[in-house]
């Protein structure tokens, strides 16, 4: 079973994403801030990371940096309200993220992109 880390400070969004991904048979772990996210990247062995950008303690960009260094092969999907800000999107892609989904988003669309990233 593929393991997905969901790093998101909005519990309702992360629960919604978790609910949807569980339906597709993934094992999911919710982390509610940047610190928890970095710890989970080190300790868990994720197959995919879904992360927000604006979060307490550590930003999504820091998480991507860390993940690229520690787990260079793990695909990352960024889920953020900063989707309209070109600089953030470009920086995320420069760091090597697999996908960028701006909020508002459709969880079903996210599920399809997750499947594609894990292929």
For other proteins, the binding residue among 11, 54, 90, 112 (CB under 8 A) is 11
Using CB under 8 A as the binding rule, the residues of this chain from 21 to 40 that contact other proteins are: 23
Q: Which is nearer to other proteins, 45 or 106 (CB)?
A: 106
Q: Which is nearer to other proteins, 95 or 101 (CB)?
A: 101
Residue 39's CB is within 10 A of a number of other CB atoms, namely: 11
d(CA 77, CA 64): 10
d(CA 43, CA 116): 25
For other proteins, the binding residue among 2, 3, 9, 15 (CB under 8 A) is 15
| β-bridge partners, 76 | 49
Tell me if residue 87 falls in helix, strand or coil.
helix
Using CB under 8 A as the binding rule, the residues of this chain from 65 to 94 that contact other proteins are: 81
Interaction between residue 16 and other proteins (CB under 8 A): yes
> Quick one: which of 79, 39, 83 has its CA closest to 57?
39
d(CA 32, CA 16): 14
Among 33-41, 64-72, 89-97, 98-106, the segment contacting other proteins (CB under 8 A): 98-106
Interaction between residue 115 and other proteins (CB under 8 A): no
The residues binding other proteins (CB under 8 A) are 10-13, 15-16, 19-20, 23, 81, 103-109
């Amino acid at each position: 079973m593929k393991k997905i880390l969901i790093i998101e400070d909005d519990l309702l969004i992360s629960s919604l994403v978790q609910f949807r991904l569980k339906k597709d048979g993934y094992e999911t772990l919710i982390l509610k801030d940047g610190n928890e996210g970095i710890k989970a990247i080190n300790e868990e062995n994720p197959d995919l990371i879904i992360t927000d950008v604006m979060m307490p303690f550590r930003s999504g960009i820091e998480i991507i940096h860390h993940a690229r260094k520690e787990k260079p092969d793990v695909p990352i999907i960024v889920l953020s309200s900063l989707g309209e800000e070109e600089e953030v999107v470009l920086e995320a892609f420069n760091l090597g993220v697999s996908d960028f989904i701006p909020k508002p988003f459709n969880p079903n669309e996210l599920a399809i992109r997750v499947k594609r990233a894990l292929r």
